[in-house]
């Protein structure tokens, strides 16, 4: 029975992964071992009605080396600290990772099997043992547009993102709600419809700028605000999140660097869960909109075309509607006034599912199906 180590399972991505694996019966026939960097000795999660053994130390290389597979949602610093020493001592198990640290390594592959299942198969055959989930907005964009990529219809894309608080982790979600609470607490005497609206406006503005306003994790108010910078600074003015779009897309699809330029601005918004993005796409030819819609709809089993109508857009094409669902809706599809090769689109998806946990869960399932790890 394959021993599968789970690291970082308590966090945002890890919790969603645990839930999906339980829902899909993925633990059957596996021997899971739970690790933590901070809660060693504390009981692991209950799986299939059975309590897990106390958690092992996620930095213990001997304990990790006893695993056939390690699935980690712990984060890039952890991966950098542990992966190389573990490989260095000859560990030849499968490493499945949510963090970005190993995505561009020569002997790893970014996994998104509805889009690059053929590349995963070839990587397994060639002996690759490190499989990494892609950046959340990149994976969601590819799930939405795989039908157009398959027909080589995309010349370039400019994505403008609207990314939820949960994309930054569990602590940031709590901070967003704390910020919402602080705003409401500060404004509660000005909510009567008969009160002066400028008093409410002033109260909210003062709360947002107060020293006591909770902003430890985001570094700024997110509630009642938007933050047009995600991740670190790169040379040339991009944020790291923006830089990943083109680089990771090429890596997932096996395209030459620069073959499809993808560049835009990444923005954090006060949604709790699910990332949205507005896409400007230059097509390689002027394809009629109904043909575009049918190509997109046929891209994979999860993409859903939402008709470009007000009511359906407001009901189906929002983070609130997409959260907790594997469907990836895409709508607002129309040609821009710049000409027939300019396509507008808006897509949204649960970044904790297709943008994080789901490709990892499915990679483990691929290892099982292919007989590369044993199940009982």
CA–CA dist 89, 58 (Å, integer)? 16
Quick one: which H or E segment has residue 307?
none
190 assigned to active site: no
73 assigned to active site: no
Q: Within positions 125 to 144, which residues make up the interface with ligand NAP, using CB under 6 A? A: 136
Binding ligand NAP by CB under 6 A: which of 2, 10, 175, 227? 10
Residue 57 in tokens: 């130390």
Piece of the chain touching ligand NAP by CB under 6 A; list 168-176, 213-221, 314-322, 331-339: 168-176
CA–CA dist 70, 2 (Å, integer)? 11
Told to check if 323 binds ligand NAP by CB under 6 A, we report: no
Binding ligand NAP by CB under 6 A: which of 137, 146, 166, 323? 166
Told to check if 352 binds ligand NAP by CB under 6 A, we report: yes
CA–CA dist 224, 205 (Å, integer)? 9
Quick one: which H or E segment has residue 133?
strand 130-133
Nearer to ligand NAP, 207 or 238 (CB): 238
Q: Within positions 89 to 128, which residues make up the interface with ligand NAP, using CB under 6 A? A: 98-99
CA–CA dist 252, 142 (Å, integer)? 9
What is residue 73's DSSP assignment?
Answer: -
CB 319, min distance to ligand NAP, A: 12
CA nearest to 349, candidates 358, 340, 361, 339: 358
Buried b (16+ CB within 10 A) or exposed e, 167-190: bbeeebbebbebbeebbeebbeeb
CA–CA dist 64, 86 (Å, integer)? 8
Piece of the chain touching ligand NAP by CB under 6 A; list 124-132, 162-170, 264-272, 304-312: 162-170
Told to check if 73 binds ligand NAP by CB under 6 A, we report: yes
CA–CA dist 376, 369 (Å, integer)? 12
Piece of the chain touching ligand NAP by CB under 6 A; list 12-20, 117-125, 242-250, 332-340: 12-20
Piece of the chain touching ligand NAP by CB under 6 A; list 6-14, 19-27, 188-196, 307-315: 6-14
Judged by the rule CB under 6 A, the positions of this chain that interact with ligand NAP are: 8, 10-14, 36-39, 58, 73-76, 98-99, 136, 166-167, 169-171, 351-352, 355-356
By annotation, the residues acting in catalysis are 136, 275
């Amino acid at each position: 029975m394959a021993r599968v180590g789970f690291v970082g399972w308590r966090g945002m991505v890890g919790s969603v992964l645990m839930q999906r694996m339980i829902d899909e019966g993925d633990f059957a026939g596996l021997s899971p071992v739970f690790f933590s960097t901070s809660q060693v000795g504390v009981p692991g999660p209950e799986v299939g009605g059975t309590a897990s053994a106390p958690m092992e130390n996620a930095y213990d290389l001997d304990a990790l080396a006893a695993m056939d597979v390690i699935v980690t949602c712990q984060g890039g610093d952890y991966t950098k600290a542990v992966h190389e020493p573990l490989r260095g001592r000859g560990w030849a198990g499968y490493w499945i990772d949510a963090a970005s640290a190993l995505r561009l390594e020569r002997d790893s592959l970014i996994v998104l099997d509805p889009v690059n299942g053929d590349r995963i198969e070839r990587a397994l055959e060639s002996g690759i043992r490190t499989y990494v989930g892609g950046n959340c907005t990149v994976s969601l964009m590819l799930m939405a547009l795989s039908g157009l990529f398959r027909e080589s219809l995309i010349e370039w894309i400019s994505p403008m993102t609207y990314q939820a608080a949960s994309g930054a982790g569990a602590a940031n979600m709590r901070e967003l709600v704390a910020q919402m609470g602080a705003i409401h607490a500060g404004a509660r005497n000005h909510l009567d419809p008969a009160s002066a609206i400028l008093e409410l406006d002033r109260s909210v503005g003062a709360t947002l700028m107060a020293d006591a306003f909770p902003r430890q994790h985001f570094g700024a108010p997110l509630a009642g605000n938007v933050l047009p910078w995600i991740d670190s600074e790169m040379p040339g003015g991009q944020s790291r999140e923006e830089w990943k779009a083109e680089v990771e897309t090429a890596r997932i699809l096996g395209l030459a660097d620069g073959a499809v330029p993808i560049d835009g601005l990444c923005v954090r918004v006060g949604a709790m869960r699910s990332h949205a993005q507005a896409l400007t796409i230059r097509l390689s030819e002027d394809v009629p909109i109904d043909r575009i819609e049918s190509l997109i709809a046929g891209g994979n089993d999860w993409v859903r075309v939402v008709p470009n109508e007000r009511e359906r857009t407001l009901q189906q094409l929002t983070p609130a509607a997409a959260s907790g669902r594997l469907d990836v809706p895409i709508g607002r599809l129309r040609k821009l006034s710049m000409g027939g090769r300019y396509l507008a689109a808006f897509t949204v998806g649960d970044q904790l599912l297709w943008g994080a946990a789901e490709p990892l869960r499915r990679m483990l399932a691929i290892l099982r199906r292919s007989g590369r790890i044993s199940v009982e």
